[in-house]
Structure 1
Amino acid sequence: MTEAPSPTQAVILAGGQGSRLRPYTDDRPKPMVEIPGTGTPIIGHQLTWLAEEGVTDVVVSCGHLARVLQEWLDSAPLPLRVTTVVESEPLGRGGGLKYAAKALPRHDEPWYATNGDIWTRFSLRRMAAFHAERDAIATLALARPRIPWGAVATDEFGNVTDFIEAPPIPYDINAGVYVFSHEFTPLLPDHGDHERTTFPWLARERRLAGFPLPQGAYWRAIDTAKDLTEAARELRELADHGAD
């Protein structure tokens, strides 16, 4: 892969309402919800991961109950420099990214971005190298999460041949983690969703890349209380396997 400097700055989108995580989000924004057994909010895990991947500066885009998040950031021992911005009006995901990107310290350099409800671990440096090799303007991580139900396999005659517990979905999904070249920022809308505007245009121009998460990489979006329970269980299993 092309040798290129990895980004050292990132944006975390942390302004969502988190309505499906109530009552946990009644008094805190979604990224401030703790995964049971860790004692650390989701955003704390994200900041540690970003620091481990060479990031030195993060801009957190706040919205719902922003003061709660800002107070935690002010008091917590953080592994990197963090700046917060608060939207005075809802700008949508694309507008929120553009607004937050203006606060990045190095506008002529690439940057990472992640949704504030993603709990994952993989090599961002490898993703940045993949991005540079393809000369992409934007690269999104791709995941194949497991469906929460068992699947039934049948043959051409309708006979059941197997039961498959929680198989992975057959398609890649946007994992909510990105690498952006510096020229991406002005392409974002001031208001609205970049996935309906900027991304389709880049795809037509063949300047949008998709980085499959490495096999075995941990990834989960924390959307519901069940996701919290599942994440806690999975982390315990990972810790047990690490001790073996």
Structure 2
Amino acid sequence: MTDPHAHARPTQAVVLAGGQGTRLRPYTDDRPKPMVEIPGTGVPIIGHQLAWLAEEGVTDAVISCGHLAEVLQEWLESADLPLRVTTVVEKEPLGRGGGLKYAAGHLPHADRPWYATNGDIWTRFSLREMAAFHAERDATATLALARPRIPWGAVETDRFGHITDFIEAPPSPFLINAGVYVFSSEFTALLPDRGDHERTTFPGLARTQRLAGFPIPQGAYWRAIDTAKDLTEASKELAATRTTG
């Protein structure tokens, strides 16, 4: 049976890898954030991302570099990559939206849809399903949505103020932007040359119902690597997966 959304499935992606990762120091003193290794894997975050993108049908990736770009570029040159990779470095800071537009300008197919991901995300879910969701809604942009765990224990009370239960690290009641996107080809022209697209482009699309949100399926792995604690937790989760698997 022919997949009706196959023609709209992206085969190209932008990875935003220019952040300084100040909250991950000292790991980021000598390397950019995406080059930090997940303990127990021997592979940097960017390596996991590129492998995942290739598994989901991506053949070409543009990596937007910044802080210590040469370290990332050197690793890319020596690594056995599962897809074609191009790197770009902003000559001057363009902001998140401007940087995304600059990187998108180096994609091989300007007239086709594309994925984008933040360079500090470690996740596994079906991008093919997300692309189909995007196409079904005829969206200009689709954001993956995650429900992270709250890092503190929660307390439940009854209506009289009696504590009834303690819940360790419960899921957040709110969905958040998971840092993974599907964009239609026309989205690139809507990005600002400088500035933040989340304050300009996204609100405009939301007002015209052209912005969609794809909830990451329950049970799929997702974690943003922002701090040393995130690295530790990711390592524990990986070990638990290997034990149960």
Q: TM-score range by the shorter chain?
A: over 0.9
Q: Does 1:102 align with 2:105?
A: yes
1:28-75 deviation per Cα after TM superposition (whole angstroms, max 9, x unaligned):
000000011100000000000000000000000000000000000000
Rounded to whole Å, the distance in 1 between the matches of 2:225 and 2:135 is 29
Query: Which residue of the other structure, out of 71, 79, 97, is the alignment partner of 2:74?
Result: 71
Match of 1:215 in 2: 218
Match of 1:205 in 2: 208
Q: Does 1:186 align with 2:189?
A: yes
Shift of 1:3: 2.5
Q: How does 1:103-182 map to 2 (within 5 A)?
A: 103-182=106-185
Distance 1:2 1:206, change over 3 A: farther
Q: CA RMSD in A?
A: 0.9
Q: Which amino acid aligns with 1:3?
A: H
Residue pair 1:147, 1:168 contacting (<8 A) in 2 also: yes
Shift of 1:239: 1.4
Match of 1:20 in 2: 23
1:102-128 deviation per Cα after TM superposition (whole angstroms, max 9, x unaligned):
000000000000000000000000000
Rounded to whole Å, the distance in 2 between the matches of 1:104 and 1:198 is 20
Match of 2:92 in 1: 89
Shift of 1:27: 0.3
Q: Does 1:29 align with 2:14?
A: no
What TM-score results when the alignment is normalised by the length of structure 1?
0.98
Rounded to whole Å, the distance in 2 between the matches of 1:219 and 1:193 is 24
Q: Which amino acid aligns with 1:118?
A: I
Report the 3-state secondary structure (helix = DSSP H, G, I; strand = E; otherwise coil) of the residue aligned with 1:223.
Answer: coil
Report the 3-state secondary structure (helix = DSSP H, G, I; strand = E; otherwise coil) of the residue aligned with 2:130.
Answer: helix
**5+ residue gaps in structure 2?**
none
Q: Which amino acid aligns with 1:185?
A: T
What TM-score results when the alignment is normalised by the length of structure 2?
0.98
Query: Which residue of the other structure, out of 222, 233, 236, is the alignment partner of 1:233?
Result: 236
Match of 1:3 in 2: 5
1:73-94 deviation per Cα after TM superposition (whole angstroms, max 9, x unaligned):
0000000000000001111111
Residue pair 1:2, 1:132 contacting (<8 A) in 2 also: no
Distance 1:2 1:199, change over 3 A: farther
Q: Which amino acid aligns with 1:152?
A: V
Shift of 1:2: 5.2
Q: Identity rate of aligned residues, in percent?
A: 82
Report the 3-state secondary structure (helix = DSSP H, G, I; strand = E; otherwise coil) of the residue aligned with 1:177.
Answer: strand
Distance 1:162 1:78, change over 3 A: same
Match of 1:224 in 2: 227
Q: Which amino acid aligns with 2:195?
A: G
In the comparison of the two structures, how many residue pairs are matched? 242
Rounded to whole Å, the distance in 2 between the matches of 1:210 and 1:67 is 35
**5+ residue gaps in structure 1?**
none
